[in-house]
Amino acid sequence: MPTKVAYQAKINYIQILNEQGKLDEKLSRGGLKDNDVIRLYEMMSLCRHYDEIAFKLQRSGRMGTYPQNKGQEAIGAVALAAQPDDWLVPCYRENTALFLHGLPMEHILLHWMGDERGNQIPDGVNVTPISIPIGTHMLHAAGIAWAQKLQGNDTAVFTFFGDGATSEGDFHEAMNFATVLKVPAVFICQNNKWAISTPGSKQSAAETFAQKGLAYGAHTIQIDGNDIFAVYKAAKDARAKALKDGKPTLIETLTYRLGDHTTADDARRYRDNAEVEEWLDRDPLIRTRKYLESKGLWDDAKQEAFDEDAKAKVSQIVKNAEGIAKPTTNDIFDYTYETLPEDLKRQRDTMKTHSLGINPQQETLRSPTGAASRV
């Protein structure tokens, strides 16, 4: 019997705004408007200021370990492709997208300061708390998307993760679940070349990370992850496909973290500085500013004014985070049960767990010697 091709596929790569700030007019049609670009540039720039201050907070002992977003801010364009009712299920390097989707900027600082109120998402903001365990949140995204489908909502779920997360079993389970059940989910892999200190070449033998989605029957695409126009288009198209045919999309965004993995890391020990210098020229802020300047929408004076305003905003955000009222001991009890059981109410009110503390009247049952009397 002759052989035949059992399966064949291709993965498209998209770049719309190149490193010099030149736009592909054809590919950009129906995409970001100039006011959207300004809004994104301002948020990316604000987050760059935010990153620098967060770094200083950690170094001065005012905050715990912090992962800078520097170099990966263009992912924020996803938030403009999403609708207010859509869900964002993040990892920990998506500040621009989270803030644009409505999360107050104090919350991220509170999280890294060790205050759990940073994970208490305000009502009406469809964002889950940032996820530190690698890959586990993708399962949550698949489940949320399934719930939206069962409820008949016209809602999509966007989840973000790094290239290293595709080596976790949770990634494969989430992809399989989402594609088999045809849920409106969009999986966004931020391929920043490094899984902490492990390079992509040792992370996977596949030519792309996008092709991992093919195994599960997902739509797949690879894009320039430092290009806000490409990020927006890919996210918008993926959302439409997910809601139309129930087929999730895996988007591989090629990007780079310009800083260390976290403030507990020293990337100089494993990264070649020449590689970092190469990616500095691909900085999403630089190319976006070049585009705005080419259209007469930005200049040095506007940048200077913006920077001063950004410094003031971030300073106020830090004051808000550090000035939050101390939590009460009631918080230990009040967020587990819909109706608090009586025994836990007594623990809460007395702040004691032993029976004598909770029921002082039992003191009369004790003998003068301290031993319990027989009754």
Q: Which residues are catalytic?
A: 257, 261, 270
Q: Which residues are 249's β-sheet partners?
A: 186, 219
Distances (CA, A) of 112 to 20, 109, 326: 35, 5, 16
Rounded to whole angstroms, how far apart are CA atoms 57 and 318?
Answer: 9
If you ran DSSP here, which 8-state letter would residue 195 be given?
E
- Kindly provide the b/e burial profile for residues 334-362, where b requires at least 16 CB atoms within 10 angstroms of the residue's own CB: eeeeeeeeeeeebbeeeeeeeeeebeeee
Query: Percent helix, strand and coil across the chain, each rounded to 5?
Result: 50, 10, 40
Report the distance separating Cα 317 and Cα 166, nearest Å. Answer: 34
How far is C-alpha 76 from the geometric centre of its chain's CA atoms?
10
Separation CA 67–CA 55 (nearest Å): 9
Contact between residue 66 and residue 22 where contact means Cβ atoms under 8 Å apart: no
The CB density around residue 79, as the number of other CB atoms within 10 Å, is: 27
